[in-house]
């Protein structure tokens, strides 16, 4: 008897306008789920999936070329615990994913929108906190890293002010947490990196 065909890496919902039922993304769905919001080329996502085979990983990304690249790389590596969805992340978290599905949400080097008049596009914004809170399981954590000092100050002020999140110290240095593609670029350019972590009590 041949082995069952693994699910395709790209997850395409049957209905983009109805919340997904629990278990729609992964079988078995009892594994903890981690979500990489704006996963880019997926280097962080794929390293995490390879390192933690007992967890599931979902990348959310709006650029199709990046989605295709991740699918190719995941298939080449034989990873069965990683999927990507080609969709806008605020919508995905606030409406599409099953509520409270994620143990960890990673938002790593989101677009900084450096011009003042564009700052309202930044992902960490009071309007997006409800979606982050909805997607996280109780006791889950939200991890944020950026090279942009103004975005860091603004984002930490917004999340710290919310009763839905409680600040935690950053991870122990020994904990496996790969450097992302953009992080490597900023490290190479000598930019300081800032990181913050919160739990959903």
Ligand X SMILES: C[S@@+](CC[C@H](N)C(=O)[O-])C[C@H]1O[C@@H](n2cnc3c(N)ncnc32)[C@H](O)[C@@H]1O
| Token digits of residue 111 | 């677009």
Q: Which is nearer to ligand X, 27 or 171 (CB)?
A: 171
Q: Which is nearer to ligand X, 3 or 135 (CB)?
A: 135
Separation of CA 175 from chain center: 18
Question: Which burial class, exposed, middle or buried, applies to 46 when counting CB atoms under 10 A from its CB (0-12, 13-18, 19+)?
Answer: buried
Candidates 5-13, 34-42, 136-144, 155-163; binding stretch for ligand X (CB under 6 A): 34-42
Could you confirm whether 14 is annotated as catalytic? no
Give the residue carrying structure tokens 């496996």: 176
How near is the Cβ of 172 to ligand X at its closest, in Å? 21
How near is the Cβ of 110 to ligand X at its closest, in Å? 6
d(C-alpha 132, C-alpha 156), whole Å: 14
d(C-alpha 183, C-alpha 179), whole Å: 6
Pick the catalytic residue from 14, 36, 41, 111: 111
Residues between 177 and 196 with contacts to ligand X, criterion CB under 6 A: 180-183
The 92-121 site mask, x for binding ligand X (CB under 6 A), equals: ----------------xxxx----------
**Helix H or strand E segment including 66:** helix 64-77
Catalytic residues: 111
């Amino acid at each position: 008897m041949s082995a069952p065909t693994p699910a395709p890496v790209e997850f395409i919902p049957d209905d983009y306008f109805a919340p997904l039922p629990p278990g729609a993304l992964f079988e078995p769905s009892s594994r903890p789920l981690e979500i990489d919001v704006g996963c880019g080329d997926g280097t962080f996502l794929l390293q995490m999936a390879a390192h933690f085979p007992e967890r599931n990983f979902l990348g959310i990304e709006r650029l199709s070329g990046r989605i295709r690249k991740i699918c190719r790389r995941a298939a080449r590596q034989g990873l069965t615990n990683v999927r990507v969805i080609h969709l806008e992340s605020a919508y995905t978290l606030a409406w599409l994913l099953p509520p409270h599905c994620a143990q960890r949400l990673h938002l790593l080097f989101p677009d900084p929108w450096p011009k003042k008049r564009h700052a309202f596009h930044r992902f960490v914004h009071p309007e997006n906190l409800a979606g982050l809170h909805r997607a996280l399981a109780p006791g889950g954590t939200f991890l944020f890293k950026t090279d942009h000092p103004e975005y860091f100050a603004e984002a930490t002020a917004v999340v710290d002010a919310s009763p839905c999140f409680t600040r935690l110290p950053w991870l122990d240095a020994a904990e496996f947490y790969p450097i992302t593609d953009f992080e490597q670029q900023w490290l190479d350019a000598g930019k300081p990196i800032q990181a913050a972590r919160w739990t959903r009590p």
